[in-house]
Structure 1
Amino acid sequence: MAEPVLKVDNLAVRYGGRRGTGSTVIDDVSFELNTGETLSLVGESGSGKTTIGRAILGLAPVTAGSVCFRGEVISNIPRARRRKVARDIQVVFQDPYSSLNPSMAVEDILVEPLLATGSGDGRTRVRELLDAVGLPADSRGRYPREFSGGQRQRIAIARALALDPTVIICDEPTSALDVTTQARVLTLLKDIQRETGVAYLFISHDLGVVNEISDRIAVLDQGRIVEIGKAHDIATNPEHPYTRKLQMAAPVADPKKQRLRRAKRLNLMAEEPSSTKSTT
């Protein structure tokens, strides 16, 4: 079997205190991501999903454990080495408007990562990137404020694709979008993956979204993975009580089914002690 492109092993992230004391945000998290795969990290707000992504990107300190890219440890590495890793691991943030410089035209936004990594000015690549995310060529001279939320997220995805990365961390990339636009962005991400073989680490609180895009799902609760498995298995037959609660909290179109889910979720909350946790 091929070596995973990204491997997180016994990862821990703590803030504050000395000698590893303080607030533990992530504790003993392990998973692997393979080429061309989508692994989703799902959990409630505060479960540690985004912190894991930040630790992989070098934006949060790794207190214990390691992050490896193609067999090489990349956690807590010097800035010069991190810049090289950035060519292979890119990110799409939740809010496309705040992640795009409002004073820069789209062309400059897309060229910036190429200049930052010494890949040349790359202006001939802008049209390719715009075409890849379904935006017209005349978008290059316009500014982020001139686009809708979904179009801005397409620009953010194009920027992430500029360096032909191996892994893209998608941090709640659809949560700020309406349902129709969400579906279009998810379809775009899947199309890009089929064409390029890029691997996604998809971070979301919405099981309905991750069920749609994932090959595998890891469920986080209070900084620990409580269940990980194939997306179909997690969606249809979750084993951990916390995962079942998340599934039943996901909205459905039928009001009767929604009321039934809510009642079952309340029963689970009454029957299962909140302190019962296990790591798979």
Structure 2
Amino acid sequence: MAEPASATPPPAVVDVRDVRIAYGRRRKRVDIVKGVSFSIAPGETVGLVGESGSGKTTIGRGLLGLAPVVGGTITFRGQDITSLPRSRRRRLARDIQVVFQDPYSSLNPSMTIEDILAEPLHVAGMSEGRARVRELLRQVGLPDDTGARHPHEFSGGQRQRIAIARALALRPSLIICDEPTSALDLTTQAKVLDLLRDIQRDTGAAYLFISHDLGVVREISDRIAVLHDGEIVELGDSEQVSLRPAHPYTQRLQLATPVPNPDVQARRRRKRRELLEAGA
């Protein structure tokens, strides 16, 4: 009896191969991202973690066509988008959306929430209007009357929910979450992470989740890529990378994650200091 054929895995939503991003020209060129490769499958979250200046946000900007990719390829839903002209990038923008770190600065304070959520629909020529706005508000756990109010009337966590709703408006295949919880307190962080998980389960969207905090990345990611000085030094399953890191730099990030036990925290500080002194 023949064995059943194994299911073919779905193609990646985005496939990044040996991508290099640099600013400047010739002798004055500064290499920010140095040959990075990873892929994200439908419904998968890949966490991109590293300290400030490691190139995390630059990679996100490269996917959006906002940073100069000088080498390698970015394939989105089977199409090479590495060097797409701006006119075609605008059409692609429907399928790649961003949730930023500071929801207040990313929301126009003079507009009502309904106008903020309806704006991408109008720009895309979609006529769903108020019905879609109400659907988006319910999707992120906010009441229908939210639409009549302005951003300053909400807490940081509520504003981030509004920013997530706006990112969902055009039903994207990929959402880039750029430090979306770093401006929030721990309780609100947990609620926003739960919300993102629920949305992914319902929509099947892929996430690139960018953060400096390995503990936060572990909570939401299926796989984690650790970025150091523009290069991925470790890439693997979330639990393995965060709990049993192989690279000394990842070990440093793990030790920087706070724990409630003061004695354990003191030992972690000493170990991290030893790694820093050893040049890891």
TM-score normalised by structure 2 residue count: 0.95
Runs of 4+ in 1 over 6 A off after TM superposition: none
The sequence identity of aligned pairs, in percent, is 62
1:267 aligns with 2:270: no
Count matched residues.
272
| 2:50 pairs with 1:40 | no
Residue 186 of structure 1 pairs with residue 193 of structure 2 = yes
Aligned to 1:196: 203
Structure 1 equivalent of residue 153 of structure 2: 146
> Matches of 1:160 and 1:227 in 2, distance apart?
29
Partner of 1:3: 11
Contact between 1:4 and 1:32, CA under 8 Å: does it hold in 2? Answer: yes
- Corresponding position: 1:251 with 2:258: yes
Distance 1:69 1:21 in 2: 31
CA RMSD of aligned residues (A): 1.1
Helix, strand or coil for the counterpart of 1:218?
A: strand
Q: Give the CA deviation at 1:21.
A: 5.2
Q: Measure how far apart 1:196 and its partner are.
A: 0.9
Residue equivalent to 1:219: 226
C-alpha distance in 2 between matches for 1:175 and 1:48: 17
Residues in 1 aligned to 2:48 and 2:13: alpha-carbon distance in whole angstroms: 17
Tell me, yes or no, if the aligned pair for 1:83 and 1:117 is still in contact at 8 Å: no
Residue of structure 2 equivalent to 1:113 = 120
Q: How does 1:226-237 map to 2 (within 5 A)?
A: 226-237=233-244
Q: C-alpha displacement at 1:67, in angstroms?
A: 1.0
Indicate the residue corresponding to 1:278 in structure 2. none
Per-residue CA deviations over 1:39-85 (Å, capped at 9, x if unaligned) read 00000000000000001011111111111101101123112211111
The equivalent residue for 1:132 is 139
State how far apart, in whole Å, the 2-side matches of 1:78 and 1:104 are.
Answer: 31
Deviations 1:132-181 (A, max 9, x none): 00011000010001110000000000000001111100000000011111
Q: C-alpha deviations, 1:190-240, integer Å up to 9, x for none?
A: 011111111100000011101100100000000000000000101121100
Paired residue for 1:167?
A: 174
**1:157 alignment counterpart:** 164
Please, which runs of 5 or more residues in structure 2 have no aligned partner?
A: 1-8
2:66 and 2:148 mapped to 1: Cα distance?
Answer: 31
CA deviations over 1:101-124 (Å, ceiling 9, x no partner) = 111100010011111111225221
- Give the TM-score of the pair, scaled to structure 1: 0.95
